[in-house]
């Protein structure tokens, strides 16, 4: 074969490869909302749960899969189980997301206690029991309801234990910022 023909064919081949890779890259960028970003690294570990905050959903001593950095690439959703860095504890807390940014948040009086409502629905735990707050728990959450006019602000979340009382959760420390949520937990 002629050297010039080989050079032309090789050049055309390289141009086609270049154009194909640019097409795929631009196509992927336009449709990236459906894909995991290439720079997303999720570290999975097995951990043993200590404590009864999510019992009976997750029992003390049970092993769970923890996905660190999961939320660097994925949205936090209602009912996700998460690890949260709480300044008052040496170990992160395991909680359930019950309210996300943009959700309507309200406290409604029921007898001498208050129900928590998200998007006009009374919040219940995994067993269908209603969360009630009173006293300092009510004071904490009512400040958020008042200050944010009943809407959970951007990058803020309502985290609750599965126990409807006696849990260190948003009823104690309030709404939490996304930066404090360090991992997703899978049962």
pLDDT of residue 82: 98
pLDDT of residue 13: 54
Confidence of residue 39 (pLDDT cuts 50, 70, 90): confident
Record the pTM.
0.78
Residue 147 backbone dihedrals phi, psi, to 5 degrees: -65, -35
Whole-angstrom Cα distance, residue 89 to residue 114?
27
Distances (CA, A) of 171 to 121, 137, 158, 160: 18, 5, 9, 8
Question: Would you kindly state where each structural domain of the chain is located, as residue ranges?
Answer: 3-34, 43-186
Beta-bridge mates of residue 185: 66, 81
Q: Per-residue pLDDT for 72 more than 80? A: yes
Mean pLDDT, rounded, for 140-165: 95
Fold of the 43-186 domain = Umud Fragment, subunit A (2.10.109)
Element (H, E) at 141: helix 135-147
Q: Higher model confidence: residue 37 or residue 28?
A: 37
Confidence of residue 28 (pLDDT cuts 50, 70, 90): very low
């Amino acid at each position: 074969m002629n050297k010039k023909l080989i050079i032309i064919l090789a050049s055309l081949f390289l141009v086609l490869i270049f154009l194909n890779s640019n097409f795929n890259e631009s196509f992927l960028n336009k449709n990236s909302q459906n894909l995991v970003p290439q720079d997303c690294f999720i570290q999975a570990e097995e951990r043993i749960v200590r404590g009864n905050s999510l019992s009976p959903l997750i029992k003390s001593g049970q092993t769970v899969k923890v996905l660190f950095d999961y939320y660097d690439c994925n949205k936090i959703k209602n009912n996700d189980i998460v690890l949260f860095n709480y300044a008052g504890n040496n170990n992160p807390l395991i909680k359930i997301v019950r309210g996300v940014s943009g959700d309507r948040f309200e406290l409604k009086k029921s007898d001498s206690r208050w129900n928590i409502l998200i998007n006009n629905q009374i919040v219940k735990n995994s067993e269908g029991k209603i969360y009630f707050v009173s006293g300092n728990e009510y004071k904490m959450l009512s400040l958020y309801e008042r200050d944010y006019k009943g809407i959970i602000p951007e990058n803020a979340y309502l985290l609750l234990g599965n126990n409807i009382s006696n849990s260190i959760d948003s009823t104690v420390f309030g709404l939490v910022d996304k930066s404090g949520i360090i991992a997703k937990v899978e049962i």
